[in-house]
């Protein structure tokens, strides 16, 4: 059948393949040309924009370095002059020579003053500020700067360094009464030995060179990068000049947005950047102005008068000023379009040549295919030994020829491999069945698990989607606490089952000496996150239910929230946290709640909520709650096995004939509470945390044991256990030198004697300490642990809780066996 279809296909191909290839190539050439043209246009546009941005950025960096070199030189010159000023303070008239010499050595400085605090030199009057400056013919002159008409103490260059306590570059200003030109001033505060400022030394730098620098840079950029002649750029400009819509230009603003340099000289120091941008509809230029003042750098597109401009801006270091270059997008995009057209024409010529070459090659290639179709007709008739036409080429035709010649041998080999594969598959299925039995044996399977107890009932069920799965649950009772967990390993099959086994083993191992669920999960997470190359994780819920009180501590690691079924039905509030094994060092949060008697805690994996029917609808949490609410009234507080059976029936009815896609695990725990007991006797004493007071314990124990009718041996053992527990509290609950108390309450019922030892000291859980290995010698055995081991051996149960700021240790000795 396959060979027949191949024959027909080759026959049809041989008759029309050439025509279809020609048509296909023509259409392909056209589509490729359109795509390449679009790509070239976009790439060219992006390249030109990137080159433009890089070029502008480079220009601005060069200008920035030039500006900073001038400013740094001024700062260094002033700093080097300060020691000489301090040496000549006793000769105030010599200070004129110092500022004169500063100007002689530094041509970038057009003026320098040493402005003293009012009355610093009483003989000089209130104002004393030796000042040297360059005249119009560059002659260096000196004068007394401070006068009643020029109150330099109110100038920014004097006030700002005094207020800030450090060097300061002033905002540009036109100095009247001093330098008589546009300048910026570097101020260096001088302090005496007591840290009080007594003067400010300044250096004035003219900003006329800054405007010239910007103008020269713009001329160079427009002529070299945008193709304009220098004669088009050197002209007098007006605010409405078309120049600003066709040329790139640069401006500099100060810390308040005031123009420091601009092609329109009338705007310098008279207007701010925001004076004009507030009049435009585009809000982008407002944002750019704020970012420039804040010292940010960037590039944005702005709209002005219906035209788009590219604006690149960057801060000028040390001054708080910012420089920006504005470029008309039309000019930049025009360059990109010219490049795109040129490259597209070259590509079109190449594609036409490619089409002619392909047309000739296709005529030659399709001829052998027609010959091969005739041979394939014989093979389709069942003649697998027919001779195939001789194909001399070394291309796909030769490969097809060789493939047919190997077909008969390959079919025989495949039949043999199929038999081998079938046998291997049967062996694997047998091994999976054994693995499934081993995995099920790891889970609790005897129900009810604690028939001797009347305060707890549990039922669990796991239905894997495959022979083995990644779901798990476990529970056991230690020290009158029910430790339980439920989890879901990411993934399915054998890898998930291995992680499931490790997870269950870690839960048992860690919880045997740790009673806090968040610490149990935390330690499990650290163990599983290490070397987790497979990146598998486990969603896990761990709970610890205190059976005497009904208080449940729990911690959730990315698992579905359990549902409480009692007088009402609702989800248990949980913090999600990360799943176990995802991230080492994650802090898992602890939570707790009070479980009322006869309440069922229903836990499940996402195999229940995500069970799908044939329409791919999921069972969902809402259907879980609806199924629980629809239970008969007399069963609103059902037994765990009845609840799990009810939910199993509901999900099977919903899924119908759909195949199970995920492991489905359910665990129901019903807390029944402790039955009321007939209390025959109650006694209590309170002792200070002093071991000398322990003899008083014997009197309490003997009174209770005598009333219970215990013999002297049992009384002695009871007294030994209680005294050991109390001494343990006195030694560990309170730090050395701290005064505290230990309360011992004893109660006697028909079934048991209960001692409750409580203190308000440091939280300490004696039950969390690993039991001492008494098989070791005294030299091999680690220090500690024998006391709690002795208490465990002498009492029937031991339970610890930290409640309302108190350590509460409950010891119980049964006197009536059920």
What mean pLDDT do residues 742-770 have? Answer: 85
pLDDT digits (tens, 9 = 90+) for 250-261: 888 888 888 888
Q: What is the pLDDT of residue 363?
A: 66
How far is 705 from 533, CA to CA, in rounded Å? 60
Could you say which of 648, 671, 694 is where a domain stops?
671
Over residues 264-290, the pLDDT tens digits come to: 888 888 888 888 777 777 778 788 888
Work out the average pLDDT over 605-631: 91
pLDDT category, 382, cuts 50, 70, 90? low
pLDDT higher than threshold 90 for residue 216:
no
Three-state SS at 409: helix
CATH number reported for the structural domain that contains residue 315 in this entry: 3.30.450.20
Instruction: Assign 493 a pLDDT band (cuts: 50, 70, 90).
Output: confident
Q: Which of 756, 761, 759 is nearest to 684 (CA)?
A: 756
Beta bridge partners of 488: 471, 539
Task: Identify the pLDDT of residue 551.
Answer: 92
Reply yes or no on whether the pLDDT at 818 is more than 50: no
> What pLDDT digit, counting tens, does each position of 562-599 carry?
999 988 899 999 998 999 999 999 999 999 999 999 99
* Structural domain includes residue 378: no
Question: H or E element: which one contains 744?
Answer: strand 741-749
- Answer whether residue 177 shows pLDDT above 70: no
Tens digits of per-residue pLDDT, 414-457? Answer: 666 656 665 566 555 555 565 566 777 778 989 999 998 889 99
Determine the average pLDDT of the residues in 66-81: 89
Looking at the fold, whether 528 and 665 belong to one and the same domain comes out as yes
Based on the domain organization, do 629 and 770 belong to the same domain?
A: no
**Domain-embedded: residue 430:** no
**Are residues 148 and 290 both part of a single domain?**
yes
Rounded mean pLDDT, 615-622: 92
The pLDDT, as a whole number, for residue 641 is 92
d(CA 809, CA 491) in angstroms, rounded, equals 43
| Assigned domain for 419 exists | no
Confidence of residue 401 (pLDDT cuts 50, 70, 90): low
Do 51 and 138 lie in a common domain?
A: yes
Per-residue confidence at 76, pLDDT binned at 50, 70, 90?
Answer: very high
Is 581 in contact with 529 (CB distance < 8 Å)?
A: yes
Cα torsion 378, 381, 384, 386 to 10°: value is: -30
Query: What is the pLDDT at residue 200?
Result: 94
Above 90 in pLDDT, residue 669? yes
724 shares a domain with 643:
no
Do residues 764 and 732 touch, judged by C-beta distance below 8 A? yes
Q: 255 or 363: whose pLDDT is higher?
A: 255
Query: Pick from 671, 704, 733: which residue ends a domain?
Result: 671
Domain that holds residue 750: 679-814
* CATH code of the domain covering residue 607: 3.60.40.10
Least confident of 36-45, 502-511, 765-774: 765-774
Which of 581-585, 634-638, 640-644 has the least mean pLDDT?
634-638
| Domain assignment present for 367 | no
What number is the average pLDDT over the span 725-746? 86
Are 551 and 635 found together in one domain? Answer: yes
Rounded to an integer, the average pLDDT of 305-315 is 85
Q: Which carries the bigger pLDDT value, residue 205 or residue 44?
A: 205
- For residue 748, is it left (φ>0), alpha (ψ between -120 and 50) or beta? beta
As a whole-number percent, the residues of the chain with pLDDT over 90 amount to: 28
Residues 344 and 198 in one domain: yes
Shared domain for 104 and 185, answered yes or no, is yes
Instruction: Tell me: do 660 and 699 sit in the same domain.
Output: no
Q: Report the C-alpha gap between 723 and 694 in whole angstroms.
A: 7
Is 70 exceeded by the pLDDT of residue 356?
yes
User: Count of domains in the chain?
Assistant: 3
pLDDT band (50, 70, 90) for residue 745: very high
- Measured in degrees and rounded to the nearest 5, phi and psi for residue 417 equal -65, -35
CA distances from residue 263 to 286, 363, 463 in whole angstroms, order as listed? 20, 68, 81
Cβ pair 129, 116 in contact under 8 A:
yes
Beta bridge partners of 482: 477, 545
Dump pLDDT digits (tens) for 684-722: 899 998 888 888 888 889 888 988 888 888 899 889 988
Q: What is the pLDDT of residue 197?
A: 93
The CATH number covering residue 809 comes to 3.30.565.10
Check whether residue 614 and residue 688 sit in a common domain: no
Higher pLDDT, 632 or 251: 251
- 590/648 same-domain check: yes
pLDDT at 130 over 90: yes
pLDDT of amino acid 305? 76
Question: For 19-32, what is each residue's pLDDT tens digit?
Answer: 676 667 767 777 77
Yes or no: say if 584 and 521 are a contact pair by the CB < 8 Å rule: no
Q: Is 359 left (phi over 0), alpha (psi -120 to 50) or beta?
A: alpha
Task: Output the pLDDT for position 770.
Answer: 58
Q: Assess contact for 487 and 503: CB atoms under 8 A.
A: yes
Distance CA 457, CA 201 (A): 89
Is the per-residue pLDDT at 79 higher than 80? Answer: yes
Distance CA 702, CA 681 (A): 13
Taking the CB of residue 316, how many other CB atoms lie within 10 A of it?
A: 21
pLDDT of amino acid 420: 65
Question: Is the residue at 728 inside a domain?
Answer: yes
pLDDT (0 to 100) of residue 374: 63
Residue 208: alpha-carbon gap to chain centroid: 51
CB proximity list for 19: less than 8 A, separation 6 or greater? none
Domain stops at, among 308, 323, 348: 348
pLDDT band at 775 (very low <50, low <70, confident <90, very high): low
Average pLDDT (768-786) is: 53
pLDDT of residue 348: 75
């Amino acid at each position: 059948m396959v060979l027949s279809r191949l024959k027909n296909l080759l026959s049809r191909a041989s008759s029309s393949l050439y025509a279809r290839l020609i048509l296909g190539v023509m259409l392909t050439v056209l589509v490729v040309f359109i795509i390449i043209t679009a790509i070239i246009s976009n790439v060219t546009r992006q390249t030109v924009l990137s080159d433009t941005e890089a070029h502008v950025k480079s220009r601005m960096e060069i200008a920035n370095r030039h500006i900073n070199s001038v400013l740094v030189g001024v700062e260094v010159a002033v700093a080097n002059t300060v020691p000489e000023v301090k040496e000549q303070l006793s000769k105030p008239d010599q200070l004129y020579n110092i500022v004169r010499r500063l100007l002689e050595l530094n041509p970038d400085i057009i003026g320098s003053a040493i402005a003293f605090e009012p009355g610093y030199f009483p003989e000089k009057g209130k104002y004393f500020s030796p000042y040297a400056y360059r005249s119009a013919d560059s002659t260096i002159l000196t004068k007394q700067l401070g006068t009643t008409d020029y109150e330099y103490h109110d100038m920014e260059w004097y006030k700002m360094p005094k207020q800030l306590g450090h060097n300061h570059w002033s905002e540009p200003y036109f100095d009247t009464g001093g330098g008589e030109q546009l300048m910026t001033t570097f101020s260096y505060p001088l302090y005496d030995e007591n840290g009080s400022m007594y003067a400010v030394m300044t250096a004035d730098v003219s900003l006329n060179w800054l405007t010239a620098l910007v103008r020269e840079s713009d001329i160079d950029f427009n002529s070299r990068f945008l193709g304009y002649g220098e004669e088009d750029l050197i002209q007098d400009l007006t605010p409405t000049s078309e120049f600003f819509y066709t040329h790139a230009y640069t401006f500099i603003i100060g810390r308040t947005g005031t123009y420091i340099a601009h092609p329109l000289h009338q705007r310098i120091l008279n207007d701010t950047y925001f004076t004009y941008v507030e009049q435009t509809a585009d809000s982008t230029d407002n944002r750019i102005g704020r970012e420039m003042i804040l010292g940010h750098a960037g590039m944005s597109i702005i709209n002005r008068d219906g035209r788009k401009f590219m604006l690149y801006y960057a801060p000028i270091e040390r001054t708080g000023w910012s420089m920006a270059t504005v470029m008309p997008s039309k000019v930049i995009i025009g360059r990109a379009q010219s490049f795109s057209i040129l490259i597209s024409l070259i590509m079109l010529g190449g594609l036409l040549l490619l089409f002619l070459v392909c047309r000739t090659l296709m005529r030659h290639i399709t001829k052998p295919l027609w010959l091969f179709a005739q041979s394939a007709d014989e093979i389709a008739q069942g003649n697998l030994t027919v001779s195939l036409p001789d194909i001399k080429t070394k291309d796909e035709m030769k490969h097809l020829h060789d493939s047919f010649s190997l077909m008969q041998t390959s079919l025989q080999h495949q039949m043999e491999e199929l038999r081998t594969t079938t046998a291997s598959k049967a062996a694997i299925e047998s091994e999976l069945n054994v693995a499934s039995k081993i995995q099920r044996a790891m889970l609790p399977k005897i129900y009810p698990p604690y028939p001797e107890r009347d305060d707890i009932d549990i039922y669990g069920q796991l239905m894997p989607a495959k022979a083995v799965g990644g779901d798990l649950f476990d529970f056991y009772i230690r020290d009158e606490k029910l430790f339980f967990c439920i989890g879901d390993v990411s993934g399915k099959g054998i890898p998930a089952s291995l992680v499931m086994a490790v997870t269950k083993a870690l839960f048992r191992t860690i919880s045997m000496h740790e009673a806090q669920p968040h610490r149990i999960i935390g330690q499990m997470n650290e163990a599983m996150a290490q070397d987790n190359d497979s990146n598998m994780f486990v969603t896990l819920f761990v709970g610890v239910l205190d059976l005497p009180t009904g208080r449940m501590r729990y911690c959730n690691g990315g698992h579905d929230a359990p549902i409480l079924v009692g007088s009402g039905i609702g989800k248990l509030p949980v913090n999600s946290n990360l799943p176990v094994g995802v991230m080492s060092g994650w802090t898992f949060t602890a939570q707790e709640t009070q479980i009322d008697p006869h309440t069922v805690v229903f836990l499940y994996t996402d195999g229940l909520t995500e069970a799908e029917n044939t329409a791919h609808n999921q069972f969902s949490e809402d259907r879980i709650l609806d199924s629980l609410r629809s239970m008969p009234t007399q069963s609103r507080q059902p037994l765990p096995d009845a609840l799990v059976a009810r939910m199993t029936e509901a999900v099977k009815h919903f899924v119908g004939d759909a195949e199970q896609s995920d492991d489905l695990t359910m665990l129901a725990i019903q807390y029944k509470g402790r039955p009321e007991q007939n209390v025959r006797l109650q006694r209590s004493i309170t002792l200070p945390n002093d071991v000398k007071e322990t003899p008083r314990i014997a009197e309490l124990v003997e009174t209770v044991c005598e009333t219970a009718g215990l013999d002297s041996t049992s009384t002695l053992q009871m007294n030994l256990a209680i005294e050991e527990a109390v001494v343990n509290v006195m030694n560990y609950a309170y730090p050395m030198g701290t005064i505290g108390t230990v309360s011992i309450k004893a109660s006697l019922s028909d079934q048991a004697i209960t001692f409750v030892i409580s203190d308000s000291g440091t939280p300490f859980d004696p039950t969390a300490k690993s039991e001492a290995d008494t098989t070791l010698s005294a030299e091999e055995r680690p220090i500690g642990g024998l006391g709690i081991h002795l208490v465990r051996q002498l009492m029937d149960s031991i339970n610890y809780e930290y409640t309302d700021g108190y350590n509460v240790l409950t010891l119980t000795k049964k006197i009536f066996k059920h």
